[in-house]
Structure 1
Amino acid sequence: MGNTSSMLTQYDIEEVQSHCDDLFEQQEILSLYQRFCQLDRNAKGFISADEFLSVPEFAMNPLSQRLLKMVDGLNFKDFVAFLSAFSAKASLRQKVQLIFKVYDSDCNGKVSFKDIMEVLRDLSGSFMSDEQREEVLSQVLKESGYTSDSFLTLEDFIKIFGSCRPEMDVEIPVD
């Protein structure tokens, strides 16, 4: 699987499926492999930040710089594991884990008021002032039983998102 120019064997496919908790069917794995090979322009066996940024939808995403920290240098197996959070079959926990990682940019296992403000700033740009963002965030935290001094863990995120399922499902086109 290191050389992206080779084809996947049945063993490779099953290994990738197992690595991503069987959230993708074999045909989806093959389609993802084809896309991975297209992105891995130099056939190095991993996708660089520049290669990810060549995808217009990724480059235009206001969170692309945060996501790049998570995806830069992914090999195929880890690429599929990353994408598995976007599967309709992914559990709430898997989806929220990805969201949590976006907010926890320093990877300390905690999300602070400041961390959330940075993401809100990335998402809202000049459409909201910092004062407006702080007001909205303080209200949301208060309604969830937290304060601006709280540090949120993954379990807190799961509790907060527990009443709604994040809409982040992506369908994998199968040829």
Structure 2
Amino acid sequence: MGNKLVTFTDQQLENYQDCTFFTRKDILRVYKRFREVRPDLVPKRMKQNEPITVKIPLADSIEKLTELRENPFRKRICEVFSRDGKGNLSFEDFLDLLSVFSEQAPRDIKVFYAFKIYDFDSDQHIGPNDIDQALALLTRQELMPEEKQQIIEKVIEEADVDGDGKLSYMEFDHVITRAPDFLSTFHIRI
């Protein structure tokens, strides 16, 4: 009974429960998964501000995290969820990422982060260049330039309600509402 390693204080676990869609058990499982990626960097017990200062480098995140390995957006996902914007994930970044991708996360949170992931240039719109980058990732650069251009034009034509040549968050949300498979594809199991 006295041999149990305490990874987080009760207060830390309570705080993580309050700001994620996870139980205490889930949070500890996420931490175990985070630590497995780089046990040489990640301590067994997190002290003070280590949950935000100890970071797994982007290269390790996208190579060693099975949750991301097959996702064509893995690098972009890490960039969006990392506080540094470069994809280096702290434990809290990783916890946020998995929380948003969990089954328990509500649709509006998933849509918000999906928009951020597709907004490659972070200009608060999804424009032709953003769609082009998404297509490149989704098709592994196998489309001819003319095919990509047709798809980009069709997406803009179908979803751009205000006619400004790009998708606002509201237009993106409207498109996602019509995509019943969205919630099942925006999911990572822990």
Tell me, yes or no, whether TM beats 0.5: yes
Residue 65 of structure 1 corresponds to 75
- Secondary structure class of the residue paired with 2:140: helix
Residues 1:51 and 1:140: Cα distance change in structure 2 (over 3 Å) = same
TM-score relative to the length of structure 1: 0.80
Q: CA deviation at 1:6?
A: 5.7
Superimposed CA distance per residue, residues 96-147 of structure 1 (whole angstroms, 9 cap, x where no aligned partner)? 1221112212222122111111110121124321211221232233223459
The structural deviation recorded for 1:35 is 0.7
What's the CA shift for 1:28?
Answer: 0.9
RMSD: 2.4
Provide the C-alpha distance between the structure 1 equivalents of 2:65 and 2:56, rounded to a whole number of angstroms. Answer: 15
1:12 corresponds in structure 2 to: 12
2:15, 2:35 → 1: CA distance? 18
Shift of 1:151: 2.3
Higher-RCO chain (CA-CA 8 Å, sequence separation at least 6): 1
Distance of aligned partners of 1:104 and 1:140 in 2 relative to their CA distance in 1, 3 Å threshold: closer
TM-score by length of 2: 0.75
Give me the whole-angstrom Cα distance separating, in 2, the residues matched to 1:28 and 1:7: 13
CA contact (8 A) 2:58 2:75 kept: no
Moved over 4 A (4+): 145-149
- Residue 171 of structure 1 corresponds to 189
Q: Secondary structure at the match of 1:54?
A: helix
Alignment of 1:47-66 (within 5 A): 47-55=56-64, 57=66, 58-66=68-76
SS in 2 for 1:111: coil
Question: For the residues of structure 2 that align with 1:6 and 1:74, how far apart are their CA atoms?
Answer: 22
Kindly tell me the number of residue pairs found equivalent between the two proteins.
166
CA–CA distance in 2 between the matches of 1:47 and 1:110? 29
- Residues 1-175 of structure 1: pairs in structure 2 closer than 5 A: 7-20=7-20, 23-41=21-39, 42-43=41-42, 45-55=54-64, 57=66, 58-70=68-80, 71=82, 72-146=87-161, 150-165=165-180, 166=182, 167=184, 168-172=186-190
* Residue aligned with 2:125, SS: coil
Judge conservation of contact 1:13–1:26 (CA < 8 Å) in 2. Answer: yes
Kindly provide the amino acid, as one letter, of the partner of residue 148 in structure 2: R
Quote the sequence identity (%).
Answer: 24
Structure 1 position 53, deviation (Å): 2.9
Q: Structure 1, residues 19-67: CA drift from partner, whole Å, max 9, x if none?
A: 22xx112211110011111124312622211220332643453223323
For 1:67, give the aligned amino acid.
I
Q: Distance in 2 between matches of 1:148 and 1:124?
A: 27
